A = this chain, B = another copy of it.
Amino acid sequence: MSRTLPEPSADSLDLTVVLSALADPARRALMAALYRNAEPVDCSAVVAETDLDLSTPTISHHYRVLREAGLTRTVAQGRKRIVTVRHDDMEARFPGLLAAVLAPR
């Protein structure tokens, strides 16, 4: 059993919301970790790949912002949340943006 958490449709993605989400270093660190790992993983596994030192409420808040911006898709599986980057939707709406923002260094 799994359910996808509410998210904006592909054509309703707003650049202001997207850029505001990406402007935060912590969220960008999460996105970068998600971006390079092809395999879907749960929230805490992603955090483990970063060097973020934030409380779980704060991490949860950042995931929500990313999801509500349309940058990620979150699927609830059991007590875990599987988070993936919405590559295609982002590329269709803002071509090249993720690559430019999440490019290594």
Q: Which residue numbers of A lie inside 8 Å of B, CB to CB?
A: 15-16, 19-20, 22-25, 28, 94-97, 99-101, 103
Contact = CB atoms under 8 A, between A and B. Distances in A.
Contacts of A101: 15, 19, 94, 97
Contacts of A20: 23
Contacts of A96: 96, 99-100
Contacts of A16: 23-25, 28
25 contacts: A15-B28, A15-B101, A16-B23, A16-B24, A16-B25, A16-B28, A19-B19, A19-B22, A19-B23, A19-B101, A20-B23, A23-B23, A94-B100, A94-B101, A94-B103, A95-B100, A95-B103, A96-B96, A96-B99, A96-B100, A97-B97, A97-B100, A97-B101, A99-B100, A100-B100
A103 B91 CA distance: 13
Nearest to A22: B19
